[in-house]
């Protein structure tokens, strides 16, 4: 009986993995890669890059900040004690599925007021955050409170968060390819006090 149960659980896990992967395969054909490519000059010319997101999206943004740091960019996570003031010539990269998270919208307003550029990743190109942004990357995933199984069977915005990380990783990979640095050069910037 235990083997049958394990087999059933294994099949359920495999089915869940297939569902997640298939959602991403569908989604990658609906992302506007020209929008992503337009970010490259802004990122390359930024004095400082600030990243921000709330909750699980914030975790994806922190992972992206680390990857940017490995490439040699001056990057800060908004809200961390070592983050300086944003200024003209800087860029804020904000992730918000709804584009309405109040703290993120306020940060974008601050960035705009000092002359910094704003990049947003969202599901809604008409949101407050998207309206403030210089560049908006739309990830066509369901918002966390919208249960639309035609878009995603996953819970509460999971597809957006996963796709945000994958989209940012594709951007990072492209920045690295264009930069030409070796993996050994990037490794020198990797944390050595873990």
Query: pLDDT tens digit string along 36-65?
Result: 999 999 999 999 999 999 999 999 999 999
59 touches 104 (CB < 8 A): no
pLDDT reported for residue 47: 97
* Predicted structure pTM score: 0.88
Domain boundaries defined on the chain: 32-187
E strand or H helix at 110, and its extent? helix 102-114
In this structure, whether the domain defined by 32-187 belongs to CATH 3.40.50.300 is answered with no
Q: Give the active site residue among 88, 161, 185, 194.
A: 161
Catalytic (active site) residue 23: no
The residue written with tokens 């959602």 in the block is: 23
């Amino acid at each position: 009986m235990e083997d049958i149960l394990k087999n059933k659980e294994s099949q359920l896990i495999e089915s869940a993995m297939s569902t997640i992967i298939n959602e991403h395969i569908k989604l990658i054909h609906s992302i506007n890669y020209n929008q992503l490519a337009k970010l490259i000059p802004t990122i390359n010319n930024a004095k400082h890059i600030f990243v921000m997101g709330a909750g699980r999206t914030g975790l994806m943004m922190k992972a992206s900040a680390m990857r940017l740091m490995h490439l040699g960019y001056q990057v800060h996570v908004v809200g961390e004690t070592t983050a300086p003031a944003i200024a003209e010539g800087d860029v804020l990269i904000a992730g918000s599925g709804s584009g309405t998270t109040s703290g993120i919208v306020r940060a974008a307003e601050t960035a705009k007021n000092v002359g910094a550029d704003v990049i947003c990743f969202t599901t809604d190109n008409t949101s407050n955050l998207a309206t403030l942004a210089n560049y908006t990357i739309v990830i066509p995933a369901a918002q966390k409170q919208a249960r639309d199984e035609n878009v995603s069977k996953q819970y509460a915005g999971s597809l957006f968060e996963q796709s945000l990380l994958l989209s940012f990783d594709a951007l990072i990979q492209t920045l690295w390819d264009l930069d030409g640095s070796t993996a050994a050069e990037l490794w020198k910037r990797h944390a050595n006090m873990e």
